[in-house]
Amino acid sequence: MTVPTRQPNTSRPYPIADHSASGQAPRSTANGWVPVIIAGVVAAFVIAIAGVISGLIVVGIRESSMPDTAPKPAASAPQASVPVIPPAAAVPSTIAARTSVASTPENLDPLVVQRGVVQVLGESYGQEDVREVKCPAGQPVEVGTVFDCTAKVDGIKKSVTITVTDLDGTYEVSRPH
């Protein structure tokens, strides 16, 4: 066993490095925990902000990938555009004349209007069970033309009002009544 070279310090029973001889500054001070606490609080704050940002990104990704199943409120009645058919008697025998008749159609195609009614009732009004849609033939493509189609909605016979809104064959479909 060796003999100690200096007397133990009774006020500090644990050995502490003495930097006075080497000229180095002491590594800790009486306030040594303050920087550690501040660093911990800053780190917790940064982690919280990063968590909120990543959460918002995940929610945004989920919402953008989810289909919209709720019916969309319509500011005005939903519209559909359908091809129109000319009357059979008006079809000329030459190609040039057919082109001019096709560019100015006279009547709506009732089968296409019926498919459009099913689509609009499902997408805009949330009606899932739409069957047996029947629309009258010979409806002219004139702005303001109004006619009714019948349909079975959830097994109940109802009607919808069709209103032609432009000369291209676009029309509005009312709620079933």
Calculate mean pLDDT across residues 145-166. 93
> Which pLDDT score, from 0 to 100, does residue 67 have?
58
Q: How many domains does the chain have?
A: 1
pLDDT digits (tens, 9 = 90+) for 38-59: 999 999 999 999 999 988 888 7
150, part of any domain: yes
* C-alpha to C-alpha distance for 1 and 3, rounded to whole angstroms: 7
∠ CA 15-7-13, rounded to 5°: 35
Q: Are strands 107-108 and 130-134 parallel, antiparallel or unpaired?
A: unpaired
What type of residue sits at position 79?
Answer: Q
CB 98 within 8 A of CB 92: yes
94, part of any domain: yes
Range of the domain at 118: 79-173
Which tokens sit at 101?
Answer: 């008749």
> Is the pLDDT at 87 greater than 50, yes or no?
no
pLDDT band (50, 70, 90) for residue 111: very high
Q: Which residue has the tokens 């047996």?
A: 132
The region, left, alpha or beta by phi > 0 then psi within -120 to 50, assigned to residue 65 is alpha
138, part of any domain: yes
137, part of any domain: yes
124, part of any domain: yes
64, part of any domain: no
DSSP class of 165: -
**Predicted TM-score of the model (pTM):** 0.44
23, part of any domain: no
161, part of any domain: yes
* C-alpha to C-alpha distance for 75 and 172, rounded to whole angstroms: 12
CB 163 within 8 A of CB 145: yes
